Each structure stands twice: as structure tokens, then as C-alpha cells.
Structure 1
Amino acid sequence: MNGFDYQKDAENIVTISMDLPGQPVNTINKAFIDGLEATLQRLERDEVAGVILTSGKDSFLAGGDLKEISALSADTLPAFAATLQRLKSCLRRLETLDKPVVAAINSTALGGGYELCLACHHRIALRDDKSRIGLPEVSLGLLPGGGGIVRLVRLLGLEKALPLLMEGTRLSPDRALEAGLIEELAADRETLLSRARAWIRDNPSPRQPWDEKGYRIPGGTPAHPKVAQMLMAAPAMLRKKTRGLLPAPEAILAAASEGALVDFAAAQRIESSYFLQLVLTPEAKNQIRFFFQLNGITGGSSRPEGFAKTSVNRLGILGAGMMGAGIAYVAAKVGIEVVLLDRTRQQAEKGKAYSAQVLDRQLSKGRITREQKDDLLERIQPTTEMNDFAGCDLLIEAVFEDRELKGRLTGEAEKNLAEGAFVASNTSTLPITELAQAVRRPENFIGLHFFSPVDKMPLVEIICGQKTSPQTLAKAFDFVQQLRKTPIVVNDSLGFFTSRVFSTFLDEGAALLEEGVDPLLIDNLARLAGMPVGPLTVMDEVSQQLLVKVRKANRELLQERGEVLEENATDRVLAVLTGSHGREGKAYNGGFYDYPREGRKTIWAELYTLFRKPEVEISRRDIQDRILFRQALEAVRCLEEGVLRSVADGNVGSIFGIGFPAHTGGQLQFINSCGLQRFVARARQLEQLYGERFAPPALLLEKAANHELFI
């Protein structure tokens, strides 16, 4: 009745199956702790030979109740701290039960779920590629607060535990075994339980390593010279990575290193102290809200209802360049047969060779076998013949941003597809409604905007044209999830959501340069604000040549509609670089930076002659606010115009697709976190100082006046 099914067999081995009623997953909340306490009391008074902890649900055990944690305030924190201490006391009682306790991990065990496993004497996991094991609390702006830091450091040592804790690594069971997070793997549930029983029989009186007399932390404490040297360098390396914007990794480093110097009980108190500091930070609240929004999207909140789930078996790709080759790899990786077409056999084979290169790197690290590499490559068929698309249930066009070329090739390829197939364009800016005119059934046409490099970027932006049917959207959504990527759904416009907002990031960098700001300061302050790289570096990576072509194509498109694409700072700056000086990007002869064959890139010195104005003084705060506010304001306009269908799509898309700082929770949550009235006031200051592009949109003013958030 308390969610802990208690079954004792003839050998006095108790199997406890966690199955909290009314919850889709087991979560650590008051009901869980009440049930665990009651179960411990029974175990302590019963005649028991050993204990097996497993789950009656599809997952083993999730972490703490994030809704409760996100709602915490200074007033409610003391009561929460008492609950946390109850949990820690329960886990300590479990591992000092004086009977063998085995975690039979039947599925995913993350966060608090794995902390429970750490309080067991032995851990066996079901071998399942979909399962994940680890302590990912850092991705929520938190740290493991149920003893996870204390126990993992004592199990693995600081050198091995810290990367897992500070990066929040979620490991497959096979990799968890390699890392030492578990001790055994089982092929099926029956074997899982039988091995747990066997271990109990062979180990009637186990103790945790840290409870053994004479125990020492593997690798040594911070007092050991080698560990001390590592910890001396760690803060600087961490600050370089987080730029001081993420308090959780720093708290983890402190809790782990300080806890390694004291006894187990004191280490537990240190861990709790840091955890309770983090739960009230805006970073934690932002990242937890992002987690809920991401879960909603992956759970299908943007997918039309009423359509059966589908999968793609055979995929056709038009264009074997960088994007087409990347899409081919991620599709073949999940078992899809791929037909990869380009103009020449050599180009098509080159596209397939990209997959071979990715696989060779994995093979060298022991991540895959030679057979797995060969099997994947066998699924990619390079070709120059359109009729090879026969039987494909999806065609993705991934050629240059040229409307005529896209339309001609797509129309020709469509004739060869299977009945009921749908067609997608990987365009990053061109309107889907207009591209759909090239196919016979525009209701079956949709945009699938992948991000480069495709094998690493987790997002796909799905764009619905005016005639795209709900069924096609459902199919596209299912396909993106089949690739194990995150889909956001937006409506059609020039640049959609991600490219449109991303262009404001680039343009603000160009505007700052044009105004006379030091180019190195622009890029460095953008990174210190939390962007992965600066806007000038991004333009070099993308290539000025491509940016000029995209702006030219967009200008021509609007002219056909009788509209005008106004010149911006990007146009003017790139005209100087490409027109007068032939600087077309990193892949050519350099752009804002020079790229020597050996050594690091250096700023192109001529930039200072062309643009730098020493008399110009713009504060560092203004530069960083301009970079972040410009993007956030454009995201509001996208929501206001109906390009964005939801706040969640905007926040997830901005972090996964654009690289907006993770600690903000996304561009729209960034506004929430600032406070809408304060954000509006600051935007108006920027508008007065730097121009109307910082004017608050009507939707933002309305929400600020009504004290509403973007939710």
C-alpha cells in the first residue's frame, strides 16, 4: 500500500519492488520517503538474509520532485532541509543494515535514483541501450543532494568522480559498467534478479568500502600531492568553461573536495549545505523550468493528436554535401536505409565517406565494433540516379539555398517516391510555403531544418507551410524523434525562428564593430555573457560568402513580394570585407580572423584600421546586454507574429539551436528571470542609446503591464 512491495522467499531474501501509486514514475517525494522509512523498519525487525531493490515501473527511480524544488523559497527551505535529512538518514540506514543489499536496476536510474543505488552494496543493471545511469543534477543547476557526491567520490576517487558529477554524464549500462558506476550487467529481468540473489548468497555480511576499517579514498584525498595539483588547476579550468555563469559545477567541486577531507557524516553535511544554497538560485529555477519544457516537447506537446505513430524505413536525400552527409549518418545510425544523391558519383561517395570518418573515430575509441561500422555504412547507398528514390517514404532536400535549384530537383525526385511519402526541405531561411509550390502535393511538404554538425547538434526545427497538413507534421515529428533528436515546431516565415533570431546575434556583433568597438572585445564579451562563441567568429565559421548569398536571396524574394529588405550592419560590414578585401571566411582566405596553418587564429589587423574608433566608449554591460536583449526581443516578435507556436519551443530552440546561455533557461525565460518590467525599462534605455531595434514589442508591453510571464 505504501508503494514498496515486500516479498520474502524461502531463503529469507526480500525483494522490494518500488511502485508508488498514482505516479507514472517513481519519484523521491514525501510519499517515497514515508514508504522507505516504513520498509526499513520492517527490514530491521524481520529475519532477512538479504535485500533486492528493484522497480515495478518502466524506470527504476527518478530524482527529487522538481516541482517542489522549483517552488522553494527562503520561507519553505527549512522544512525542505529537514526532508532532505530524512532521506539521507534512510539511505544511511539501508547501507548499514548489516545485510547485503543489491540494486537490481531494471531501467533508467538518474539523480536520486542512482543515489539510492549507491547506498546499496552491489549494483546490477539490465543491459538496455535506452536506459541511462548517472548523476545529471548539474544540468538542472543543482548537485546530487542525497549523498551522491559523498558516495561516488568514496567509490571512484576524486579524479574519476568529478568529471561524472560536473558534466552530469548520463551513461548507458555498458558505459556505466566501464566507469565503475555498476558492477554487473544482466541480459533480462529474470537474470537480473537471479544474479542479485547469487551475490547475496556469496556475500552474507558486506560493508560499504567507506565503512571498512582503514579505508582510503581511491587516488587519495586533497592532501595527496597528485590530487592537490589537480584541484589547484580545477577552478581555473572550470571558470574558463562556465565563465562564472553556472554556480552548480563550482559547488560540486567544492563539496567533493571539502567532503573528501572529513569523515562520512561531515561530508554529508557539507553536501547538503551546498545543495540548499543552489536550490534558491535563479540559475537552478531557470534550468528546472527548461527541463519541464523540454520534457513536454519530447512528450509530444507540439505533435498533432489523432494520428498513429509512424517511422521512416527508407530515406532519400538530395545533396551529399555537409548537411546531406550528416543527415545520412544520423538516419543510418538508427537503422534507416538511406539513398544519398548528388550530381556526380564522386560527390555522392564523398557524402558517404563522412559517415566512415565519424565511425572510424568511434572505432578507435572502442565505442563500436568493425561489424557495427560496416552494417551502418551498408545502409547508405550513394547514387546519381533519381529512380533510386523508389520506395522512399521521405525525401529530404539538402542542396544550396537556391529556390530554383531546390524546386527543380525536388519536383523531379518526388515522382519516384513511395505512395504516401512526404517531402522536406532542409533550408535554413527560405519560406516553406513557396518551396512547396514545386511539388504536386504541397500538403505533404514541410521544413526540416537541421543544424551543423548534424551528428552532434540535438535540435531539428520543423517548419509548417501554409498548406502543410497536420498528418505530415505528425510524420515529421515522429521522424525527428526516430533520429533521437529534439523537435521544435514553428510556422513559416523568412528565416523561421532560429535563423531569424540567430541573424540578430550576428548583426549586433557587426553593429558593434561598425560603431568602432574593439573586435576582440565583441567576441570575448559575447562569450562571457554565455554565448558559445562570439558573433565575428561565427560569421567566419559560417563564411561571409554564404551570409552574403543568403541576404541576396532574401532580398530578391522580398522584392518579388513588393517588400524591401532593409540594409543592416551585417550588409555594410560584409560588403567591406568581401567586396573590398576578399575576406570570405575561415574556409577561404580568412575573415575577421587570420587562420595560419600552424598555431591559433589571430584577429585580422586591418580591422582596426577599417573600423576601430578609440574614442568610442561603450560599457561592457551595454555590449553584453545588446547581444542578449537583441535576441530575446526578436524571440518575442516571433511569438507575437505566430512564428513561434509556444514559449517552450522558443526556449528549447534558443538553447539547443542558437546556443543561448543555458543558465538563462532560454530567451523567453531570460525575460522572465530579469522581471518583465525591469526588462522593458532596460530595453527602452538601449533603444534610446542604440536604436529602435531594441524597442519592446507590444506583446512584451502587454505582459509586463499585466504582470504575466512567458509560460
Structure 2
Amino acid sequence: MIYQSEQLTIKRLDGDIAELNFDLQGESVNKFDHATVTSLTAGLDALEAESGIKGLLVTSGKPVFIVGADITEFTSLFGSSKEEIKPFTGANNKNFNRIASLPYPSAVAINGFAMGGGLEVCLACDFRVMSTAAKIGLPETKLGIIPGWGGTVRLPRIIGVDEAVMWMATGAEKRPADAMKAGAVDAVASPEQLRGVTLTTLQTAIDGKLDYCERRVRKHGPLPLNDTEALMTFFTVKSMVAQQAGKNYPAPVKVVEVIEQAHKMGLEDALDVEAEAFAELATGPVAAALVGVFLNDQLLGKKAREWEKKADKPIERAAVLGAGIMGGGIAYQSAYKGTPIKMKDIAQEGLDLGLKEANKLLAKRVDRGRMTAAQMGDILNSIDPTLTYGGFDNVDIVVEAVVENPKVKHAVLAETEKQIDKDTVLASNTSTISITYLAQALERPENFCGMHFFNPVHAMPLVEVIRGEKTSDSAIARTVAYANKMGKKAVVVNDCPGFLVNRVLFPYFGGFNMLLRDGADFQAVDKVMERWGWPMGPAYLMDVVGIDTGVHAANVMAEGFPDRMQPDFKSATEIMFELERFGQKNGKGFYEYVEDKRGKPIKTVNEDVYGMIADVVGEKTDFDKDDIIMRMMLPMAIEMARCVEEGIVGTPAEADLALLYGVGFPPFRGGIFRWMDTIGLAAIKEASDKFAHLGKAYELTERMNEMLANSETYY
């Protein structure tokens, strides 16, 4: 043994080959945490002191290769200076440079995920052999940063600028065929042949039949572009990346700028350019926000898996009550992810609509080459449309998705309970109605909970699993397990009007209606909020949600929280409802919609709308954009703070992800609590005081005032 630690070993093999094996003890995956970086430095010291070595084989002792840096350690860098951050990249850059400069060839066997730093160490090796089961990529831009261990330097020198930029700007995972085609790897082998093929490749280089020295010259030197080629290449790719990334995500464009700035440089100088840019991004708010989202997602996933472990019975067969668009979407998602489902409705037209929705979604996958027609047929066959309760005594969970009317839901739930096994979970897809209230119709309320999907079901990741007063842990556990199986992000919340997402969304809409009352132009408000980062402004969003749905939900919220959600004026949204302008569902709302050739609704403006709402809006006023933002965001932020304080949701992390996955909160802001931390509670308080005349929705909670006094933050 040449070197051994808890992170890696280096041993001598037959033929005077050294094997560097990453195998982080106590972990299921390898990652470049501080201890691994330190061990790699010590291991290379020992390797360089070993005489007679002819080649280096790099392997992993885990089912995956290396997943990248330890992101949990990275968070400590936020708030640091650029000078403090540079050592984070410096130590491992030296390690990789040492591997790249060994006096003999190196080859790496990529047996699973090699992401970020995991791929960068592979790029430092002379030859790369990839398992057919592996994936590689540089996903750092998804975290608001760029590769910091030589990725922006080595990858373009291996596969070319255009391809390298696309890899890094998108952060996409690459399969073996794509990696081989691009020239990022030299060979692809089955998992059982991977080690042998890699050793053969290495031995061929040792024998002088593969020129590794020429490869090193290419990786260590400038990019082979003359001035004209460079000008055209970087202008084109920078424009394309900037357009796709948008102004709120600086990292993808920074990738291009770094490659361009360093394209005439050798390795060491180019790495300095990369390190400078990495440190610049790492000190910015976008990196803090996106890394926060990543870590919050890990927390949410961990909690969901913990619930799933508590499930005392697997969900193997499901049913949905109410077909239509929502029921069809639920049926599609369940069947597509492998759980057969009955889809019941009281009318054949409903079943036809539900099947049409599932068929449309599956046909799209076939058209895009993501599944075969035979697979589509199998999935459709696992959706059983029915007008009766036949077979309901043999399902494990029933999701009720009928009309959002308490009386109708009470009747349907009570009827269904009589048709199912006493151990079956019954869940309601209600978006606002109290689970505790709905449970009053049931004999077994312990088996009942909420399972609130967001529309469109196939596209929206979030599912709220809502606990009523009498809901058992078993019902929650099984429902979360079903959500996991459906590929959804489950957040467990306690019961209240609107639960979590709708409870905080409607104060946001309330802020919008007050802005219109006070003379704001709904198009101007939409533009400001879209520039702030929302995928669509509040008027457009209300059209997409459905104005009839929105008015109903707003009434539920007003009844539940009259002190701050009961308006004392008639709103423009109510006028739209009275005029039966329900939004996209009937082609007219604040905007009007005409379908394009693909059936996608295209938003258009009808100036007559201003006349329709003239009686309930004030004299036209041009509001400062910062005032629009605060009048929109404060009610949502304060209501979310109440939800955490009341225990409706467990943590700010879960709350932030619920808004991100449920209604498209801007990821680059990290979530509503991350946003409050970023601008500071002092700024929130200042805005609260400025808009105090607008009512209690703008009034900070006692706990928020305490946090401000004690200089506390949510993260």
C-alpha cells in the first residue's frame, strides 16, 4: 500500500501501475469534501515519492464515481471575500495539476455519476473510459457558480468551445453516447468490462502506442483559435447563452467570458481567470440562493423518505374520483410512474375527458421519442375508467378530485368510504377546504388526509399532504410514499384554510387587487413582477389559475382570515368573474387567449378590459416599481412567516420550496425566507411601516419584530 486514509487509497498493482481508489468511508457516495482534498494531497505526495511507477489507474470504490464537491461545506463561504474563497479552489487545482503532470500516463474508469469536481478530476487524467451505466456533467451553473477545478479550462481544450459551453451553461448530465460523440471520453464499456478496458487503455499508453504527451500539450496550451475564429465563436455563443439564461442567472454567461478571457493562455494563467470568476460568483446572492434551493431540496427529499419508511403498507393500486383535466392528470401520473389506477366519474363525458388528457400527455412522449407506442399502450391499459365503485374494495388509496364544493365533497367522500376497505387511505385533492371539516362526513377520519396536486399535474412538482385534526401518521406516511412513487415533491403541512401555498398566494393576489383599486395598470404590474423573476405576473397568473377558481378560493381565505384577507372594496378580479371572464379556461380574463397551431394559448391584450373594470379602479397612477414589488410581496412574506410560527409548515426551507415548486417563485431568489434574509428584516419593516395604511396584511408579526430586534435571520 502506497497510501491509505478514510477517503482514498493508493496501491501498487502488477505491471508497476498505481491505483488511486476513491472510497469515502461512512458515506454512500464519494465527494470532494475538505478531508478528501487533504487526503488527495497527502496521497499524491506518497505517489510521487514512489519509484518505478509506470502508470496511474483512477477508480471508485462506490457504485458512483464522485458526485462533486460537498455542497454543505460550500455554504460557509457565503459572505466571505473573494480572497477568502480562492483557497477553496486552489488546493484541489494543485492536486489535479499534479495528476495531469505525472511523469507517466493516467486513465480513469468512470463507473457512475461523475459530476462537477468528479468530472474535473477525470479531465485532468490523460484517458477516460466510461461505463454504459454512468453519467457525467458540470452542473455548477445550476448552483449559480462555474466549475472551479479546471472545468472551464480543460473541457473546451478537449471537446471544443461550442460543445463545452453548452455542457457547462446548461449543466446537463451527459450519457455515454453523447460523451463519446463529443470526445469527452475515449471509450465506453459495460460495467463488468470497465476496469479491464481502462487498464488495457492505460497499458497501451505505457507501451507507447497511445500518445499521452500530445494530449497534455493540447490541455496545457492556448485554445487553437485565431483572432477571427475567436471573435465569431465567442460573440455567437455568448449571445445565445445570454438569451437562454436571462439576466437573473449570471453564471452561464460567466462561463463564456472566462473561456474567452483565457483562450490565449496556458493552463496556470487560465486557472487563475477561472478562480477569480468563481470567487466573484460565489460571493453573490444568486449562488447563495441556488445552493440554498439545492440543500432545501435535499432536506425535503430526506423528510419524504423518512415518512415513506414509516408506511406500514405499500401503495400498489390507486383510484381517483372525478375524471376531467385534474383527474386525468392524476391518473396519467400514477400510471406513468407504475401504479395502476381506477378513474371514476359519474358521467361518460368526464371519463372521456380524463382519458383524452392522459392520451395527449403520453402521445407527446411518443412523439418526442421518450417512449414507444407499445409502452404508451401499457400505461393507458393501467388506467381503468369506470362509472361504478366496482373493484374499489381492492385499492390502497383513493384520491378525491371532484368539484371544489364542500357539500359535494362531503357526499362523495362519505359514499366512497362505504365502498373501500377499512384500511384504505382516502385523500382529498381540495385546494382550500379544511381537511378537518371534510373529515366530519367520515366514520374513519384517521384514514383521511389532503393530497393537493397543482395544475397541470404532470408538470408541477409539488404535492401538499395535509394533516387534519384526526389524521393518523399511517395515512400521512402512505400518502407521502404514493407521492414519492409518482415522482412528486411532497411537503407535509397542517390543516388551515388554503393550507400552505394557497394561504400565502391569496394575500399576494390581494396586494394586486389593491394596486388596481389605487390606479395601477394590471399590465404594468405584470411586467414589474415578471422582471422581478416570477414566470408570470399576477393578472396573467390569475387567468391561468382560473378566475372562477380564484374568486372561490379568495372567499374561503376571507372567511378563514377576515382580519387581513377580507377586502372592503369590490375588486377588478370580481368584475372579471361577474362578466364570466374566467381566464384561459374560456379564452378571456384580464387577457384574451387564442390557441396557436400546437394548441398552446397565446396571450393577447384587449383594451376594452380597462373599460370593464373602470368603476372599481382609481385614477391611473404610475407606481414606482419598488413600491409595486413590496405591495405585492409583503402580504405573501408575512403570511408565510405566520405559517411557520403557527406550525402549519415545519421549516422555512420547506416553505421556500413549496412556493418554488407550487407556483414558480423565482429560484434565483431562493425562496421567500431567503429573499427576506437577503434584503434584511430592517427593509421589510421599513416597507411594512410605509404601507401600514393598507391593513393588517402588511403588519409584521410579533415574532418578526423580535427577530429584527435580535438581528436574527431565517437561515
Q: Structure 1 length normalisation: TM-score?
A: 0.89
Residues 614-637 of structure 1: per-residue CA shift (max 9 Å, x gap): 652421111112222221111012
**1:131-150 to 2 correspondences below 5 Å:** 133-150=136-153
CA separation of 1:121 and 1:601: change in aligned 2, threshold 3 A: same
Q: Could you say if the C-alpha distance between residues 125 and 341 of structure 1 is closer, same or farther in structure 2, counting changes exceeding 3 Å?
A: farther
Query: For the aligned residues, what is the CA RMSD?
Result: 3.3
| Secondary structure, aligned partner of 1:71 | helix
Q: Find the counterpart in structure 1 of residue 586 from structure 2.
A: 588
What are the superposed Cα offsets for residues 389-446 of structure 1, whole Å, 9 maximum, x if unpaired? 2421111112221222223333333344356321211111111112223333111111
Structure 1 residue 219, shift from structure 2 partner: 9.7
- Decide whether aligned partners of structure 1 residues 440 and 11 sit closer, same or farther in structure 2, where only a CA change above 3 A counts: farther
Residue number among 295, 299, 309 corresponding to 2:302 in the alignment: 299
User: Is the contact between residue 145 and residue 271 of structure 1 (CA under 8 Å) also seen in structure 2?
Assistant: yes
The offset of 1:638, in angstroms, is: 1.3
**1:476 Cα deviation (Å)?**
1.9
User: Whole-Å Cα distance in 1 between the matches of residues 312 and 281 of structure 2?
Assistant: 40
- Structure 1 558/266 Cα, relative in aligned 2: closer, same or farther at 3 Å? closer
Contact 2:564 2:697 in 1 (8 A): no
CA contact (8 A) 2:152 2:258 kept: yes
Out of 323, 342, 353, the residue aligned to residue 339 of structure 1 is 342
Give the number of equivalent residue pairs.
699
Which amino acid is 1:465 matched to?
G
Amino acid at match of 1:18: F
Contact kept in structure 1, 2:55 and 2:105, CA below 8 Å: yes
Match of 2:44 among 28, 40, 45: 40
Among 693, 698, 703, the residue aligned to 2:697:
693
Of 658-667 and 545-554, deviating more is 545-554
Deviates most, 646-655 or 84-93: 84-93
SS of corresponding position for 2:583 = coil
1:10 maps to what in 2?
A: 14
Output the amino acid matched with 1:684. D
Aligned-partner SS, 1:273: helix
The alpha-carbon distance between structure 1 residues 256 and 353, as it changes in their structure 2 partners (threshold 3 A), is farther
For 1:419 and 1:192, the matched residues in 2 are separated by: 52
Q: Classify 1:565/1:386 alpha carbon distance in 2 versus 1 (closer, same or farther; 3 Å).
A: farther
Q: Deviations over 1:234-288 (max 9, x none)?
A: 36515xx53x333323322322333345444333222111101111122222332
- Alignment partners' CA distance in 2, 1:235 and 1:171: 19
Q: CA deviation at 1:679?
A: 2.1
- 3-state DSSP of counterpart to 2:229: coil
Structure 2 CA distance, aligned partners of 1:14 and 1:377? 54
**Aligned twin of 1:602:** 604
Larger mean Cα displacement after TM superposition, 341-350 or 108-117: 341-350
Residue in structure 1 matched with residue 323 of structure 2 by the alignment: 320
Greater CA drift, 417-426 or 701-710: 417-426
Instruction: For residue 300 of structure 1, give the secondary structure of its aligned residue in structure 2.
Output: helix
* Residue aligning to 2:495: 492
- Counterpart position of 1:60: 65
- Aligned: 1:19 with 2:17: no
Q: Distance in 2 between matches of 1:83 and 1:232?
A: 27
Give the Cα–Cα distance (whole angstroms) in 2 for the partners of residues 497 and 112 of structure 1. Answer: 37
For 2:118, which of 97, 113, 119 is the aligned residue? 113
For residue 673 of structure 2, the aligned residue among 668, 676, 682 is: 668
* Aligned pairs for 1:243-642 within 5 A: 244-300=247-303, 303=306, 307=310, 311-418=314-421, 420-551=423-554, 567-568=566-567, 572-579=571-578, 581-597=579-595, 601-609=603-611, 610-611=613-614, 616-642=621-647
Distance 1:79 1:558 in 2: 50
Residues 219 and 267 of structure 2 are in contact (CA less than 8 Å); yes or no, is this contact kept in structure 1? no
Equivalences for residues 696-711 of structure 1 within 5 A: 696-711=700-715
Partner SS for 1:360: helix
Instruction: Say which SS state the counterpart of residue 118 (structure 1) adopts.
Output: helix
Counterpart of 1:200 (choices 199, 202, 226) is 202
Deviation at 1:536, TM superposition (A): 0.4
Partner-residue secondary structure (3-state), 1:630? helix
1:650-674 superposed Cα distances (whole Å, 9 cap, x missing partner): 1111212122222222111222222
The residue type paired with residue 91 of structure 1 is F
Q: CA deviation at 1:325?
A: 2.0
How has the CA–CA distance of structure 1 residues 174 and 376 changed in structure 2, closer, same or farther, with 3 Å as cutoff? Answer: farther
Separation of aligned partners in 2, 1:570 and 1:532? 28
The letter for the 2-side match of 1:674 is I
TM-score, normalised via structure 2 length? 0.89
Go from structure 1 to structure 2 and tell me whether the alpha carbon gap of 1:203 and 1:620 turns closer, same or farther (over 3 Å shift).
same
Q: Please give the alpha-carbon distance, in whole angstroms, between the structure 1 residues aligned to 2:276 and 2:220.
A: 27
SS at match of 2:584: coil
Task: Measure the CA separation in 2 of the matches of 1:175 and 1:421.
Answer: 46
Alignment of 1:136-175 (within 5 A): 136-171=139-174
Q: Which amino acid aligns with 1:700?
A: M
**Structure 1 residues 133 and 404: alpha-carbon distance in aligned structure 2, compared to 1, 3 A threshold:** farther
Call closer, same or farther: CA 1:583–1:222 in 2, change over 3 Å.
farther
Counterpart code for 1:193: R
Shift of residue 101, structure 1, vs aligned partner: 3.2
CA spacing shift, 1:371–1:492, aligned 2, 3 Å: same
Query: 1:558·1:565 contact (CA, 8 Å) conserved in 2?
Result: no
Distance 1:180 1:143 in 2: 21
**Is the alpha carbon distance of 1:83 and 1:288 closer, same or farther for their aligned partners in structure 2, counting shifts above 3 Å?**
closer
Distance change in 2, residues 1:150/1:214 (3 Å): closer
Residue in structure 1 matched with residue 96 of structure 2 by the alignment: 91
Aligned 8 A contact 1:577 1:584 in 2: yes
Contact kept? 2:68, 2:116, Cα under 8 Å: yes
User: What residue identity is the alignment partner of 2:533?
Assistant: G
